[in-house]
Structure formats: C-alpha cells, structure tokens
C-alpha cells in the first residue's frame, strides 16, 4: 500500500502562523521570530503568545516586543560581495564564519536570497522582504545568474555544446543557459556561464562530469544587479529604483532609506 501523502496545512483566508507573519512583515527572520515567541517576549493584540503557529492576520494584528510596539518594516535589500571560505547560513555547527559577520548588527535580521557555497565568491543578495526573495528564487521567473568560471584543462567547442544541451549527473539533469569561452590553454580555461536555476553545486558538477575541475567560481551578476566596484567583504544598500530596473516584474514595496 503506498504511503499516505501529507497535505499542507490550510489556514483560514488571510491568516498565517505568527512566526511567518513577522517574517512577511520584514520584522524578523522566522528563526528570530520563533525565538522571541518561545521566550514570551512577544504580545499580539496585547496578549503574550508563546506558540509560533498561532494564527494571525499580519496586516491587522498589533505586535509588541518587550512591551514596545513594532509594526511593518519597509523592505531592505543589500548586495554583498561574498568572499570565499565563508558560508551563507546564519550559523554553522563547525564554527565557520558566515556572511552575517560581514554586515552591521542593524542588518542581522536579513536573510540571504538563495546560496553561494563555501568555496564560491561574488554577488549575494540579502533582504527582509520574503515575498521578493521568493519571487527572485522561483525557477519560473528565470532570473539569470552570471558567473566567471575557471576550470582545469582546455574546454573544447564540443564540451561547450554539452554544457548548453545538458548532461545527466547522479540522476539529475544539469544544464546552463549560456557558456562563453573567454580564454583557454592546456592548463586551464576561463569562461562566463549563465544559469536561471541554481541546483546544488550545479556548475561544479557539470564541469566535473566533463572532466574539468572548477578552481575558481565567482557570481558577478544576479539579474540586472552587478557587483560594480564592491570589494570582497563589502556591501551596499540597493535603491528602490535599482530593484525596479533590474526586476521590472518583481513584487516590491518601499525600501528603507539609510
């Protein structure tokens, strides 16, 4: 007999779990919200709520943290130049540095939009706007991510074709949208690669399947946003005009002025 299919919990129209509400409003990440709630620091409509799954209508509820009113926070988006050898998670059980050590404490409630692996550097977006983050990472919106890639050995024209037509690796189909060879020698090849869907370590895996180890991987653009002059470890606030120009169809709300 096939296993029972678990159905997603259906909430009444307009209502969401309390921790989700705080995240949607840009007040805190879900993990931070859960911590506040379970510690008994949060009041909803004057009543302390210790259940993260308590249902609320985000736009109608009144929230207090440590007896101080809090409300909807305007959206904030950062572009960070992530260095190598740093992770995008908020915390790491191995004690490795995270991208959150690079941003000011006032930005600690932001969440990364997607991920860059430990050995990958380059452009990483962080935001408190979960609706925008979901839109940017939704494969159906086909947001182009651009990478500079260096691999061992000479990449041939035939292999460039395979990158674009796609290959199978570990029962998963891997494919890039565009691949341009910038320079090549017997020792190494330098390419520009574009993806619209970031599967786990996709670029490293697809090149390795073709016999080329990736030695350097850097994301230089996410849609219409680029690193510009940002040095490794630096970040900047993205303006509302930039967001609208880079992602014309994205759901955006007013950005914080800093």
Question: Which residues are known catalytic residues?
Answer: 117
Nearest to 255 by CA among 247, 242, 245, 246: 242
Nearest to 234 by CA among 112, 107, 147, 122: 122
Which residues, 6 or more positions from 197, have their beta carbon under 8 angstroms from its beta carbon? 139, 142
DSSP type of residue 22:
H
User: What size, in residues, is the chain?
Assistant: 258
Which residues pair with residue 82 across a beta bridge? Answer: 122
Measured between alpha carbons, how far is 173 from 140 in angstroms, rounded to an integer? 17
Measured between alpha carbons, how far is 90 from 31 in angstroms, rounded to an integer? 10
Measured between alpha carbons, how far is 42 from 65 in angstroms, rounded to an integer? 5
* Burial 171-194, CB ≥16 within 10 A → b, else e: eeebbbeebeeeeeeeebbbbebe
Stated as kind and residue range, the H or E segment containing 207 is helix 202-209
Measured between alpha carbons, how far is 119 from 249 in angstroms, rounded to an integer? 32
Which residues, 6 or more positions from 61, have their beta carbon under 8 angstroms from its beta carbon? 21, 44, 45
């Amino acid at each position: 007999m096939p296993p029972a299919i678990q159905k997603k919990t259906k909430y009444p129209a307009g209502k969401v779990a309390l921790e989700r509400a705080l995240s949607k409003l840009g007040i805190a990440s879900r993990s931070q919200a859960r911590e506040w709630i379970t510690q008994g620091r949060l009041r909803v409509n004057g009543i302390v709520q210790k259940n993260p799954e308590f249902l609320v209508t985000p736009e109608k509820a009144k929230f207090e943290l440590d007896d101080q009113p809090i409300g909807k926070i305007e959206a904030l988006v950062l572009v960070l130049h992530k260095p190598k050898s740093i992770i995008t998670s908020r915390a790491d059980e191995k004690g490795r540095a995270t991208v959150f050590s690079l941003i000011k404490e006032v930005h600690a409630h932001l969440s990364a939009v997607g991920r860059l692996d430990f050995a990958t550097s380059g452009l990483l977006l962080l935001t408190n706007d979960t609706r925008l983050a979901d839109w940017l990472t939704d494969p159906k919106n086909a947001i182009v991510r651009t990478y500079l890639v260096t691999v061992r050995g000479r990449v041939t024209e035939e292999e460039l074709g395979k990158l674009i037509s796609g290959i199978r690796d570990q029962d998963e189909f891997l494919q890039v949208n565009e691949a341009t060879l910038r320079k090549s020698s017997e020792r190494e090849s330098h390419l520009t690669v574009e993806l619209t869907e970031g599967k786990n370590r996709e670029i490293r895996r697809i090149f390795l399947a073709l016999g080329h180890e990736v030695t350097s991987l850097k994301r230089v653009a996410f849609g219409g946003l680029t690193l510009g002059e940002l040095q490794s470890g630096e970040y900047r606030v993205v303006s509302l005009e930039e967001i609208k120009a880079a992602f014309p169809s994205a759901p955006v709300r007013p950005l914080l002025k800093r």
